[in-house]
Amino acid sequence: MATEVLMPRQGQSVESCIIVGWKVKEGDKVAEGQALCEVETDKATFEVPAPVAGTVLGIFYEAGADVPVLKVIAAIGAPGEDVSGLRPTTAGVRNQESEISKPVAVPVTEVKKPTPAPRLLTPENSASAEFDLIIIGAGPGGYVMAERAGHHGKKVLLIEKQYLGGVCLNWGCIPTKTLLNSAKHYVHAKEAPEFGVTTGEVKFDLTKAMAWKNEVIETLRAGIAFMMKKNKVTVVNGEAKLLGPRKVQVGDKVYEGTNVVIATGSSPFVPPIPGAKQPHVMTSTEILSIDTMPKTLTVIGGGVIGVEFASFFSSLGVQVNVIEMLEEIIPFMDREQAKEFRKALKGKVEFNLGCKVTAIDGHTVKYTTKAGEEKSIQADIVLMSVGRVPNLAGMGFEEAGLDFDRRGIKVDEQQRTNLPDVYAIGDVTGKSQLAHSATRMGEVALNTICGQRDRFRMNAIPWAVYSMPEVAGCGYTEEQAQAAGHKVKTASLPLTMSGRFLAENGKRGPGSVKVIKDADTDVLLGVHMVGAGCSEMIYGAAVMIEAELRVKDIREIVFPHPTIGEVIRDTMFQL
Ligand SMILES: Cc1cc2nc3c(=O)[nH]c(=O)nc-3n(C[C@H](O)[C@H](O)[C@H](O)COP(=O)(O)OP(=O)(O)OC[C@H]3O[C@@H](n4cnc5c(N)ncnc54)[C@H](O)[C@@H]3O)c2cc1C
């Protein structure tokens, strides 16, 4: 019986591969392992080997066809065997007599709908526009894209209504991590005697910590301004309005660009809870500028932002309560690790899970427990951190005919919107609210504009919570992998296995690594970590998952010793 040659599976994110060319033709004799054809994904080019020795009895797709993984692309067997039953039955099936050199129709139902050809920045179509690219919003989506495009010689206009760096630099990633670092110094100084270092009285100076945070922001802002200048990006300070494809208005001036990119980001969501509009009820923006340390803080929302602030304030002795509507904090975390993480914060932060805030009456936060009990907590400051909403209003999007809903602007995998030559990237798309996702989306959009094949993939985007302890992850959690239909195998190890971790964090330091693989293919699906320093290690997992490495390949990678990262490698041997 003839042997089927399948389009190989290249990991979880690859749904199809393009046949670049055949190296054999029907009737050829082939040895086992001999290359039959060359195929490519958007990440790699590789050869498909003959699974057995024999005669090539059928080649079912022509070069150029985009074929779903695990489809039969060819058949090998003994001369004269009938392989008609293996041929795709759809229109345009290759005739058995046809030769590889003859033009062959591709089975139409197997081929992906072609995406519209990217508009190239040629002198012809950009001649009438002042700019090759107009970018609205200078967050990590917009300014990095501007820098990269400028570096490639494009004429770029970057419009920003507030500060270069967007939320990430001014009210997000950088200020929070700067303050968390000050808190980490405080905690380390207090714990120093355990490690043989005697200190005097340890105090936290909020004014100095805030001043350092502001200095970090200003230094980095100046760095962005320098990079814009270096890459010849024109920066305009003002509020932009989209007039339609190619046209953007700022004040009374209209700019024309061959392509327009919307990178307007997101803002904190404030739910309509009675009492939410009081000065001591703050979002992440206002709390980053307080001048007096509160004695008590109630955080509404147990997501990443809420937990980072809870960790910061609790480590400085503030009494912190978190009220979360769901049954667990950080909803996208592996459930096992979320529990471990919450346990590690116990004693410092009081978690009220499955509870709903009903009103804020002065400094009293009223809430209902999952058992229906009415309760209340006193708080000097209330932090509202229940999510962020895309910035869509007042920018002419509706009038321009842009397709969006409350979650964000609708885009395809190349970040194209429904309007020709208009792209959207970052938080405003609602796809992923992370700075590095925004940057990657900008790179994908730029590559698309420049005619290069690229797409935004979500499966290997790492994330981290920079609390004490830190948590980080990349790829599927155990629950997500199961829901996606994988036969899952997992393994976990404590970080105290690492001599380095033990030396630096002590025996009590909470921490673990959990790895998840597909039991059938051995491909790594996810890595999840709790413990000091894991935000700096998780990119390694992103590399492994993006490259779709099998666990057996990862075991061959050597990690330096002594490092905490070695535990990731050790866990691979437990699978
Ligand atoms: C407290 C906090 C902590 C965070 N920590 C992290 C973290 O540790 N790691 C991480 O990856 N992410 C973190 N984030 C999320 C991260 O900040 C965002 O995902 C990221 O900033 C999104 O980038 P962006 O380019 O899409 O938009 P933004 O950074 O929001 O930038 C959008 C810019 O567009 C401008 N703009 C809007 N409308 C107009 C207009 N009409 N005309 C001109 N300009 C306009 C805005 O002024 C803004 O500067 C955090 C967020 C917060 C709030």
Q: How far, in Å, from the CA of 162 to the mean position of ligand 1?
A: 11
Q: Are the C-beta atoms of 20 and 47 separated by less than 8 Å?
A: no
Residue 14 has pLDDT above 90, yes or no: no
CA 482 – ligand 1 centroid, Å: 33
Q: Please tell me the predicted confidence (pLDDT) of residue 223.
A: 98
Share of the chain above pLDDT 70, in %: 92
CB 43 within 8 A of CB 96: no
Q: Is 438 in the pocket of ligand 1 (CB under 6 A)?
A: yes
Percentage with pLDDT > 90 across the chain: 84
- Note the pLDDT of residue 11: 63
Atom of ligand 1 nearest to the CA of 239: 42
Using a 10 angstrom Cβ sphere, with 0-12 exposed, 13-18 middle and 19 or more buried, the burial of residue 465 is buried
Please say if 528 is a catalytic residue.
Answer: no
Task: Kindly report the length of the chain.
Answer: 575
What domains appear along the chain, each with residue ranges and CATH number? 3-86 (2.40.50.100), 123-267+389-449 (3.50.50.60), 281-386 (3.50.50.60), 467-572 (3.30.390.30)
Backbone conformation region of residue 247, classed left if phi is above 0, alpha if psi is from -120 to 50, else beta: beta
Angle between helix axes 142-151 and 435-449 (nearest 10 degrees) is 40
pLDDT the model gives residue 106: 36
The residue contributing the CA closest to ligand 1 atom 6 is 173
| pLDDT at residue 108 greater than cutoff 60 | no
- CB within 8 Å of 314: residues ≥ 6 apart: 320, 345, 348, 349
CA distance 425 to 414: 10
Q: Which of 228, 243, 264 to mutate to test the pocket of ligand 1 (most atoms within 8 A of CB)?
A: 264
Strands 381-384 and 281-282: parallel
Query: What are the respective helix, strand and coil percentages of the chain, to the nearest 5?
Result: 30, 25, 45
> Which residue from 159, 161, 162, 168 has its CB within 8 A of the most atoms of ligand 1, so it is best to mutate?
168
What separation in Å is there between the alpha carbon of 524 and the centre of ligand 1?
Answer: 31
pLDDT of residue 126: 42
Closest residue by Cα to atom 37, ligand 1, is 264
- Among the residue ranges 31-35, 413-417, 570-574, the one predicted with the least confidence is 31-35
Q: Which of 185, 280, 528, 561 is catalytic?
A: 561
User: How crowded is residue 569: how many other Cβ atoms within 10 Å of its Cβ?
Assistant: 18
The pick from 134, 144, 167, 444 for probing ligand 1's pocket by mutation, whose C-beta has the most ligand atoms within 8 angstroms, reads: 167
Tens of pLDDT, residues 257-294: 999 999 999 999 999 999 999 999 999 999 999 999 99
**Shortest-distance atom of ligand 1 to CA 466:** 8
Distance 326 CA to ligand 1 centre (A): 25
- Among the ranges given (57-71, 350-364, 377-391, 551-565), the one the predictor scored with the smallest mean pLDDT: 57-71
- Output the residue whose Cα is nearest ligand 1's atom 19: 434
Among protein residues, the one with the nearest Cα to ligand 1's atom 38 is: 264
> According to the model, what pLDDT value does residue 90 have?
57
Is 50 exceeded by the pLDDT of residue 309? Answer: yes
Query: Which H/E stretch holds residue 266?
Result: strand 266-268
- Mean pLDDT value across residues 206-222: 98
Cα–Cα distance for residue pair 191/216, rounded to 1 Å: 26
What is the predicted pLDDT for the residue at 12? 62
Nearest CA to ligand 1 atom 33: 137
pLDDT for res 69: 84
Q: Are 345 and 320 in contact (CB under 8 A)?
A: no
Does residue 136 have its Cβ closer than 6 Å to ligand 1? yes
Does the beta carbon of 518 lie inside 6 Å of ligand 1?
no
Residue nearest to atom 3 of ligand 1 (CA): 172
Give me ligand 1 centre to Cα 264, in Å.
8
Q: Cα(543) to centroid of ligand 1, in Å?
A: 25
* Short-list 215, 265, 255, 259, CA closest to 235: 255
Tell me: pLDDT of 91 over 80: no
Ligand 1 atom at shortest distance from the alpha carbon of 395: 41
Cβ of 144 less than 6 Å from ligand 1: no
Query: What is the distance in A from the centroid of ligand 1 to the CA of 500?
Result: 35
Local confidence band at 391 (pLDDT 50, 70, 90 cut-offs): very high
Q: How far is CA 62 from the centre of its chain?
A: 35
pLDDT value for 9: 74
CB distance 162 to ligand 1 below 6 Å: yes
> Is 80 exceeded by the pLDDT of residue 548?
yes
Q: Do 468 and 307 form a contact (C-beta atoms < 8 A)?
A: no
pLDDT for res 3: 93
Which of the four pLDDT bands, split at 50, 70 and 90, describes residue 77? very high
pLDDT given for residue 41 in this prediction: 79
pLDDT in tens, 448-507: 999 999 999 999 999 999 999 999 999 999 999 999 999 999 999 999 999 999 999 988
Mean of the per-residue pLDDT values of the chain: 91
pLDDT of residue 93: 42
Sign of CA dihedral 493, 494, 495, 497: negative
Calculate how far, in angstroms, residue 116's C-alpha sits from the geometric centre of ligand 1: 30
